[in-house]
Amino acid sequence: MNDIERNLQDIQISIPKDVTLVAVSKTKPVNELMKAYEAGQRVFGENKIQEMVEKWETMPKDISWHMIGHVQTNKVKYMAQFVDLIHAVDSIKLLKEINKQAKKHNRTIHCLLQIKIAEEESKFGLTEEDAIALLDSEEVKNLTNIHIQGLMGMATFTNDENQIKTEFEKIKTFFDQNTSKYPELRVLSIGMSGDYKIAIDCGSTMVRIGSSIFGARD
Ligand SMILES: *Cc1c(COP(=O)(O)O)cnc(C)c1O
């Protein structure tokens, strides 16, 4: 058994069956992704569109590709043919472009709204108020080729587990407050290598794990 296979197995036994594991493979070469694939992993997350396109072109076609990084509107077209879930949507403008490009390929692209939860200053993500405004907007409701499936958040980069827990609890509370009004919200994407156990305790349904599977990145 190789390291990647062993790491995957260790993670799988530590997360509940109904939590989706996204193997974050950014910067890693295809041969390492293939080790995870051969161990049964089918969901991969990348943060750069060009890199994801190159991997998609060479790898088996039954992989679900997730874009977990910030997306520039003018690059959506390169991944519209195959991307399954875009985690970090934070504007109506981006949603409209995703919809337009998805339509060209006769597809539906799943999206998550990135919510700003970190205490530290972060450039990306919606406030809770902005997320509600987006979900309520007629313009968004009329987009036929996107499906907003849930929320995504990133905690502050810190060793303070209490702070991380507070931030994850905040997005979980917001998620729970809105799932009855917006039943399409089913996914809560929180948790990375350093904090996924806290995230699962806080109700995560999808964890994005890179270095604990593939090793540290350069
Ligand atoms: C890189 C990245 C991850 C995975 O980080 P690890 O600490 O290696 O698990 C998760 N989410 C996002 C948005 C990332 O950019």
How high is the pLDDT of residue 79? Answer: 98
Express each pLDDT in 100-120 by its tens digit. Answer: 999 999 999 999 999 999 887
Q: In angstroms, what is the span from residue 211 Cα to ligand 1's centroid?
A: 8
Express each pLDDT in 43-65 by its tens digit. Answer: 999 999 999 999 999 999 999 99
Query: pLDDT-based confidence at 30, cuts 50/70/90?
Result: very high
Query: pLDDT-based confidence at 209, cuts 50/70/90?
Result: very high
Report the atom number in ligand 1 closest to the C-alpha of 193.
Answer: 9
Confirm if 208 and 22 have CB atoms less than 8 A apart: yes
Q: In angstroms, what is the span from residue 77 Cα to ligand 1's centroid?
A: 23
For residue 9, the SS3 value is helix
**Phi and psi for 66 in degrees, rounded to 5?**
-110, 130
Helix or strand holding residue 12 (H, E):
helix 3-14
| Average of per-residue pLDDT across 11-35 | 97
CA 21 to mean position of chain CA atoms: 10
Whether 193 is in the pocket of ligand 1, judged by its Cβ within 6 Å, is yes
Q: In angstroms, what is the span from residue 209 Cα to ligand 1's centroid?
A: 6
Q: Is the pLDDT of residue 171 over 80?
A: yes
What is the β-pairing status of strands 85-89 and 206-209?
unpaired
Percentage of the chain exceeding pLDDT 70: 100
Confirm if 187 and 112 have CB atoms less than 8 A apart: yes
Report the atom number in ligand 1 closest to the C-alpha of 68.
Answer: 13
Q: What is the 3-state secondary structure (H, E, C) of 139-202?
A: HHHCCCCEEEEEEEECCCCCCCHHHHHHHHHHHHHHHHHHCCCCCCCCEEECCCCCCHHHHHHC
Query: pLDDT-based confidence at 193, cuts 50/70/90?
Result: very high
Confirm if 85 and 151 have CB atoms less than 8 A apart: no
